[in-house]
Amino acid sequence: MTEFLKLNAYVKSHGGKKRVLSYALIGALCGLIALPVGFFSGRSHGYRMAVGELSATRANAHTSAPMPASGAVPSPTPIKPQPVQSEASKPTVGAKEELQASIARMTEDGGLILPTRTFVVAGDISLIYLRAVVPVEDPEVFEYAIRCTCDFAVLQRRRVLLTPDSKVRGQFSLSVEVRTPVGDLVDRRSLEIGVVDPQAGSGQSFQMLMVGDSLGHANHFPDELANLLRRPGNPDVTFVGSFRPPGSTVPHEQYGGWTFRHFNELFNADPRIFHKDRSPFIFSGGGDKPVFDAQRYFDETLGGVRPRNIHIQLGINDAFGLLPNDSGLAAKLDAILRQADLLIAGLRKALPDATITVGSVIQANATDRAFIESYPKEREELRSEWRWRQVQMRLARKMVEHFEGREAERIYLVPTHMAVDPIEGYNPHPYMVAAFDFKIGNAVHPNNIGDAQLASAIYTVLKAELAGPVIH
């Protein structure tokens, strides 16, 4: 994200000291091909396209075997991993050393990046992409198996597909196994699946605020979410916010290149770089000292609205410049979560009863080519998909661990990291949307299918929360 590189200059100079910023990076994506007009006509159908694509492949899928009532799954003793090899001595594909290095990485990184619970709306779909939850360079070095107490879980080559009938309700248990080609167990995780009533929230009316970065800046996934909520059986949701870019249907607070910290601190900034001169939640205090005041934002900027729901989708820019071999990576990722907590606390102070959903950082385009073409003039390490995926997966794991199980605080994890297809959910080459005010590259910005999948994951958790104790 070239936006990150510009914003990084703000972080380094934060505190009111002005600093000369180089604009050489602004042209980094110049010469990108224009997006065909058909993209726009197809966006509103993105969700249906994704559903149709999934339905078409189900005929060739392997359904899961029923899990024993006890939940126990017989298996051999896990094999002992060998130490991870350095990038310089990366083993040949298909070699024994590749398998051993992958087993070691799985063990060191903590295994599958799965929440303990996920949801699916009856009659809809939910997805778990293996590449997004298996923290190795090539997940196909392993073999996979699933067992479920349900009959609607399907294991396909790259994903687990959940497709309950519209009449299904209740809680089910899903186990995902990772094995070597000869059957040795590498990892196994179980998660609960809650099937949500498609009528959950019907008849209710409330407002919703979305806070985020370039994923929602031009309203691609927000518009998809709004479309889902217009279907029969849903609450009447009015989206609120001070920013509504050209071509969008709903307002929000989502800006290209922004981080948790920008929402917490940005003040007296250059709007040519940051899209605004300050965070929407930051106001001038005594002596021009910036103050985070969400109450004032809701009262003055939005005219007194009190949204019931807030969704936060951040994390890419916070971590995009980090390196996986940095000995201080864990501490830097923890610092990101502290900024997330500050943002949530500030919003919570103004809205003590609001439901706050937080999306885990999503995986990017699956190819190196996408990064090379998107960032041709940036640092060489930014042009590696695997470099970013290692950082992204570690942040996603931390976000899952940090935000899951906090329903008593009215905080809900949305496991968006596992819901967006890193192949079909992205375009193969960079593109630019001329109708919007934000330039979009293909490396970390999904296409219409990916946007629909991201919106669907948020919609599902929103519906689950509205279903109340029946699900929770």
Give the tens place of pLDDT for each residue, 113-160: 999 999 999 999 999 999 999 999 999 999 999 999 999 999 999 999
Q: How far is CA 90 from CA 28, 84, 97, 293, 381, in A?
A: 31, 9, 9, 50, 17
Nearest CA among 312, 328, 297, 322 for reference residue 258: 312
**pLDDT at position 64 over 80:** no
Rounded (to 5) percent helix, strand, coil in the chain:
40, 20, 45
Position 433 scores a pLDDT of: 60
Q: Are residues 248 and 328 in the same domain?
A: yes
Provide Rg for the chain, Cα atoms.
Answer: 22
Of 179, 196, 213, which marks where a domain is finished?
196
Q: Are residues 280 and 349 in the same domain?
A: yes
Give a yes or no: residue 450 inside a domain.
yes
Nearest CA among 17, 61, 356, 370 for reference residue 211: 356
pLDDT in tens, 407-434: 999 999 999 999 999 999 998 887 766 5
pLDDT in tens, 18-32: 333 333 333 333 333
Tokens of 125: 């779909």
Position 189 scores a pLDDT of: 97
Q: Are residues 361 and 237 in the same domain?
A: yes
Q: Are residues 45 and 111 in the same domain?
A: no
Position 246 scores a pLDDT of: 77
* 91 neighbors 436 (Cβ within 8 angstroms): no
Amino acid found at 403: F
Give a yes or no: residue 289 inside a domain.
yes
- According to DSSP, residue 243 is labeled B
Q: Are residues 147 and 243 in the same domain?
A: no
Q: Are residues 184 and 209 in the same domain?
A: no
pLDDT in tens, 367-420: 999 999 888 887 888 889 999 999 999 999 999 999 999 999 999 999 999 999
Amino acid found at 274: F
Of 196, 216, 232, which marks where a domain is finished?
196
pLDDT in tens, 451-471: 999 999 999 999 999 998 655
Q: Are residues 221 and 304 in the same domain?
A: yes
Q: Where are the alpha helices (DSSP H) in 271-384?
A: 271-274, 294-296, 316-319, 329-350, 368-374
What's the rounded mean pLDDT across residues 306-327? 96
pLDDT in tens, 240-274: 999 988 777 899 999 989 999 999 999 988 888 88
Prediction pTM value: 0.81
Residues with Cβ < 8 Å from 192, sequence gap 6 or more?
116, 117, 118, 171, 172, 173, 174
Residues with Cβ < 8 Å from 415, sequence gap 6 or more?
114, 115, 118, 360, 400, 457
In the block, which residue shows the tokens 């248990």? 173
Q: Are residues 316 and 383 in the same domain?
A: yes
Nearest CA among 318, 307, 317, 398 for reference residue 348: 307
Q: Are residues 104 and 77 in the same domain?
A: yes
By CB neighbour count within 10 A (0-12 exposed, 13-18 middle, 19+ buried), where does 191 fall?
Answer: middle
Q: How far is CA 42 from CA 37, 38, 235, 449, 464, in A?
A: 9, 6, 25, 10, 28
Of 136, 162, 196, which marks where a domain is finished?
196
Nearest CA among 459, 256, 446 for reference residue 357: 459
Q: Are residues 188 and 204 in the same domain?
A: no
Q: Are residues 249 and 299 in the same domain?
A: yes
Tokens of 330: 């864990």
Give a yes or no: residue 102 inside a domain.
yes
Give a yes or no: residue 56 inside a domain.
no
CATH code at 183?
2.60.40.10
What's the structural domain count of the chain? 2
Give a yes or no: residue 286 inside a domain.
yes
Range of the domain at 231: 2-49+199-470
Half-sphere exposure of 321 toward its Cβ, with a 13 Å CA cutoff?
16
Give the integer Cα–Cα distance in Å for 102 and 63. Answer: 26
φ and ψ at residue 284, rounded to 5 degrees: -75, 125
Give a yes or no: residue 433 inside a domain.
yes
Q: Are residues 388 and 322 in the same domain?
A: yes
Amino acid found at 404: E
Task: Encode burial over 415-432: b for 16+ CB neighbours within 10 A, e otherwise.
Answer: bbbbbbbbebbbbeebbb
Position 235 scores a pLDDT of: 97
Residues with Cβ < 8 Å from 414, sequence gap 6 or more?
311, 357, 358, 359, 360, 457, 458, 461
Give a yes or no: residue 261 inside a domain.
yes
Per the prediction, the chain carries an average pLDDT of 82
What's the rounded mean pLDDT across residues 60-74? 36
